[in-house]
């Protein structure tokens, strides 16, 4: 069985480049050494400290003044990073647990605080129209701004920063490590990159200086201005669209649908490369009516050329009572989306499924053939189908 892709696991090494904790240490030690900061190596990945308030004396580089907030009366602050708009008093933290009011100023507690680093195939994210067959330097911190019952990475997303071992990996060091590993891409992923937006922005800017592009794998639950800022720096955005029903977002994610749809539309309007993943959860978001609504909404709002990935659910976290998504359900979702006119529809987490391949919408031939995360044939040349010269949208060089 394939590995869940909806928020792909950070703990499992992949067949193509996944790295272990020991390799993580070595990688990060190399990163800090490259900028003459070897003395920091002993702090890179130690046993998790006890929970409680962050200790600025011990972790000064991880507590950095945040962006996207405003002051209120009595030293309270309102975070403006995501639609929650959390208001906190001194000493308090927002819903994500990584942004803290320190005497009337809002601080991020995860800047440069890498809780997971892996080298993955880009297909694992999944991005199917971004440099197929490439490797991507993936990084994550703690925290998330929603609470999905089906989360694949709850160990990261539902943790406070001080609950996890972490490496001091500031943007310049992270990009240097990615370059040493010869990865053309960097991805903010695993937990929710929205909560480490400042870190992600600086990584993307640093990467641009060295010809390394940055992508994000997000839930899309982010305010307009931060998303606009990210669009200026990122190469591509993948959004996990959980459902087309507000009720699902409320009961299963402790979130809202409308801001996610707004984000998807915003990303598309900014000219960003965009792909959508829909984790098909049996009995909860898999009805024929909902899948039709999804396909029709995408056709109308982001166009028929935006890739849509239907991903197979596996029992995880709080939904262990449900079975894996039946093959028949995924095939039905695929057929509905294709019947609604979407050109690039994929099925994930089912090995050797024909819908892992990319087909030319004009001549119908398979132009990228995949086996899991591996590219076995690529017939796209200069952004066109080799057979009929139909333009195939994506990032190919």
Residue 285 DSSP SS3: coil
Percent of the chain having pLDDT more than 70?
85
b/e sequence 329-353, b meaning 16+ C-beta within 10 Å: bbbbbbebbbebebbbbbbbbbeeb
For residue 20, pLDDT beyond 90: no
The predicted structure's pLDDT at residue 62: 79
Q: Which residues contact 156 (CB under 8 A, 6 or more apart)?
A: 10, 115, 116, 140, 141, 142, 143, 164, 190, 191
What is the CATH code of the structural domain delimited by 113-345? 3.20.20.70
pLDDT tens, position by position, 111-165: 999 999 999 999 999 999 999 999 999 999 999 999 999 998 999 999 999 999 9
What's the whole-number average pLDDT of the chain?
88
The predicted structure's pLDDT at residue 42: 27
pLDDT tens, position by position, 325-336: 999 999 999 999
- List, edge to edge, every strand of the sheet that includes 105-108: 64-65, 105-108, 99-102
List phi, psi (to 5°) of 82. -135, 175
pTM, full prediction: 0.88
* Per-domain residue ranges of the chain: 56-108, 113-345, 357-397
pLDDT category of residue 351 using cuts at 50, 70 and 90: confident
For residue 38, pLDDT beyond 80: no
pLDDT tens, position by position, 46-72: 322 333 333 433 444 678 999 999 999
pLDDT category of residue 8 using cuts at 50, 70 and 90: low
The predicted structure's pLDDT at residue 262: 98
First to last CA, the chain: 31
The predicted structure's pLDDT at residue 9: 58
For residue 264, pLDDT beyond 70: yes
Q: Please state, in angstroms and as integers, the Cα–Cα distance from residue 93 to each residue in 161, 197, 254, following that order.
A: 12, 16, 17
pLDDT category of residue 31 using cuts at 50, 70 and 90: very low
The mean pLDDT of 360-371, rounded to a whole number, is 97
Contact assessment for residue 350 and residue 338, using Cβ atoms and an 8 Å cutoff? no
The mean pLDDT of 93-109, rounded to a whole number, is 97
The predicted structure's pLDDT at residue 84: 98
The predicted structure's pLDDT at residue 10: 57
Query: Comparing C-alpha atoms, which of 84, 280, 268 is closest to residue 194?
Result: 84
The predicted structure's pLDDT at residue 33: 32
For residue 303, pLDDT beyond 90: yes
pLDDT category of residue 2 using cuts at 50, 70 and 90: very low
For residue 34, pLDDT beyond 60: no
Contact assessment for residue 107 and residue 63, using Cβ atoms and an 8 Å cutoff? yes
Q: Which residue has the higher pLDDT, 23 or 342?
A: 342
């Amino acid at each position: 069985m394939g590995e869940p892709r909806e928020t792909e696991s950070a703990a499992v090494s992949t067949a193509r480049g996944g790295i272990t904790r020991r390799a993580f240490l070595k990688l990060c030690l190399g990163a800090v050494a490259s900028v003459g900061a070897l003395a920091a190596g002993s702090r890179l990945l130690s046993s998790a400290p006890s929970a409680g308030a962050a200790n600025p004396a011990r972790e000064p580089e991880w507590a950095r003044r945040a962006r996207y907030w405003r002051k209120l009366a009595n030293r309270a602050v309102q975070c403006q990073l995501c639609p929650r708009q959390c208001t906190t008093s001194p000493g308090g933290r927002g819903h994500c647990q990584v942004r803290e009011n320190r005497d009337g100023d809002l601080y991020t507690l995860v800047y440069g605080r890498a809780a997971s680093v892996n080298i993955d195939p880009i297909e694992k994210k999944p991005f199917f129209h971004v440099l197929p067959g490439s490797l991507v330097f993936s990084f994550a911190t703690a925290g998330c701004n929603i609470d999905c019952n089906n989360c694949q990475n709850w160990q990261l997303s539902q943790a406070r920063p001080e609950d996890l071992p972490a490496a001091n990996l500031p943007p310049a060091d992270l990009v240097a490590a990615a370059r040493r590993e010869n990865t053309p891409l960097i991805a903010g992923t695993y937990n929710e990159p929205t909560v480490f937006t400042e870190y992600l922005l600086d990584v993307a800017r640093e990467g641009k200086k060295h010809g390394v592009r940055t992508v994000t794998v997000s839930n899309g639950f982010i305010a307009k201005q931060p998303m606009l800022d990210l669009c200026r720096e990122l190469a591509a955005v993948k959004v996990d669209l959980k459902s087309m029903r507000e009720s699902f977002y409320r009961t299963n994610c402790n979130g809202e649908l409308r801001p996610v749809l707004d984000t998807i539309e915003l990303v598309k309007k900014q000219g960003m490369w965009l792909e959508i993943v829909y984790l098909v959860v049996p009995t909860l978001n898999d009805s024929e009516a909902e899948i039709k609504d999804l396909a029709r909404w995408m056709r109308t709002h982001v166009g028929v050329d935006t890739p849509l990935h239907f991903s197979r659910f596996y029992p995880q976290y709080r939904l262990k009572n449900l079975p894996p998504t039946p093959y028949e359900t995924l095939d039905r979702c695929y057929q509905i989306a294709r019947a609604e006119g979407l050109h690039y529809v994929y099925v994930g987490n089912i090995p050797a499924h024909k819908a892992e391949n990319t087909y030319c919408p004009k001549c119908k031939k398979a132009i990228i053939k995949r086996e899991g995360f591996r590219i076995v044939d690529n017939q796209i040349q200069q952004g066109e189908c080799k057979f009929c010269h139909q333009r195939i949208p994506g990032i190919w060089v």
